[in-house]
Structure 1
Amino acid sequence: MRPLTEQDIRTSFVNCSKGEAKRLAVPRDLGELPWDDLDFLGWRDPGAPDRSHLVTERDGRPVGIALRFPAVRRGFLHRSMCSLCLTTHPGGGVSLMTARKAGPAGREGNSVGLYMCTDLACPLYVRGKKVPDSGARFEESLTVAEQIDRMKGNLAAFLDKLHT
């Protein structure tokens, strides 16, 4: 992913108003992020514990979505799998993230959801740059490149649902 500026991020959101995008908390360490290892930039809003944001590239331009998730934590013995990167986590490591649909459907309150890593570090998990709390990912017969392509495809399918 190419490095993004704060302005790139704020103007990329497709499922919130310009005012909401202007007020959201953007990561302060944009210049220090491992952009070559990111297929999308995801972060939690430190001022709103039930909100996260995700920005990826589609058709050569950044596309951002605002996400919400329940603040309820599951027990540590409960394990869940992320639908994007297929990493398993104990407890609250995976959350049902919901995104308001874009356009009129979103203004009517329609949304779509997907189980994702709560920290939105999927690209780092797939590349082995970050280890999940469980200590390891499942062994797969796919190469890392194929896992990355699968993750990108899963994200693209989710983003497509925002516009239908």
Structure 2
Amino acid sequence: MRPLTEQDVLASFVNAGPDELRLVELPHDFPLVDWDHLDFFAWRNPHTRGRGYLIAEHDGAPAGVVLRAAEGSSQARSAMCNICHTMQPGEQVALFTARRAGRAGERGGSIGTYICADLSCHENVRLAAPLAPSEMRADVDRRIDGARRRSEAFVAEVLAG
């Protein structure tokens, strides 16, 4: 992912109005982000636990989405994140919704998906690689590429309205 400034991040949001943009808080380690190792950028609001943000490439430019985590926790023993496709304990995967962009969002349209509760999908696909003696680097690369494609597809769905 290309490096983003704070202004780039704020300008990227496709489903946020001025009031919501005032609530955006970047992660504390934002100045230290290693952009060369990110396929998309996602974080939870440090002070508002129910808010999250995801920025992925769309048509060659960064497109950001404001996310809201569902209240409560899952009763499932385990769940799979729809972005990184990793199995997690149920309480570590949350339903996130995003208001659609444009007129569809103004009319209340939204889209939701299950994502790692801490939005660390870009790290999860890289953890403990390779995971098994028979697993090859290509398998890890496929997981990384898959997470990138699924994050971009989610952003595209928000934009599709």
TM-score, normalization by structure 2: 0.86
Q: After alignment, is 23-32 or 86-95 more displaced?
A: 23-32
Size of the aligned set, in residue pairs, is: 157
Distance 1:113 1:97 in 2: 5
> Which of 135, 144, 150 pairs up with 2:146?
150
**CA spacing shift, 1:129–1:27, aligned 2, 3 Å:** farther
5+ residue gaps, structure 2, are none
The letter of the residue matching 1:69 is A
**Secondary structure of the residue that 2:115 maps to in structure 1?**
strand
Contact map agreement 1:49 1:71 (CA 8 A) in 2 = no
**CA spacing shift, 1:140–1:110, aligned 2, 3 Å:** farther
Q: In structure 2, what is the equivalent of residue 35 of structure 1?
A: 35
Q: Deviations over 1:110-135 (max 9, x none)?
A: 100111111111111111279xxxxx
Q: Deviations over 1:17-74 (max 9, x none)?
A: 1332133111232221232221111111122221111112223321100001123123
Runs of 4 or more above 6 Å deviation: none
Higher relative contact order structure (alpha carbons within 8 Å, sequence separation ≥ 6) = 2
Q: In structure 2, what is the equivalent of residue 133 of structure 1?
A: none
The letter of the residue matching 1:145 is D
State the Cα RMSD in Å: 2.3
Instruction: State the percentage of identical aligned residues.
Output: 40
Q: In structure 2, what is the equivalent of residue 55 of structure 1?
A: 55
**CA spacing shift, 1:3–1:111, aligned 2, 3 Å:** same
Distance 1:155 1:110 in 2: 19
5+ residue gaps, structure 1, are 131-135
The letter of the residue matching 1:100 is R
**CA spacing shift, 1:85–1:7, aligned 2, 3 Å:** same
Contact map agreement 1:25 1:46 (CA 8 A) in 2 = yes
Contact map agreement 1:55 1:64 (CA 8 A) in 2 = yes
The letter of the residue matching 1:90 is P
**CA spacing shift, 1:104–1:145, aligned 2, 3 Å:** same
Distance 2:22 2:5 in 1: 13
TM-score, normalization by structure 1: 0.84
Distance 1:2 1:111 in 2: 28
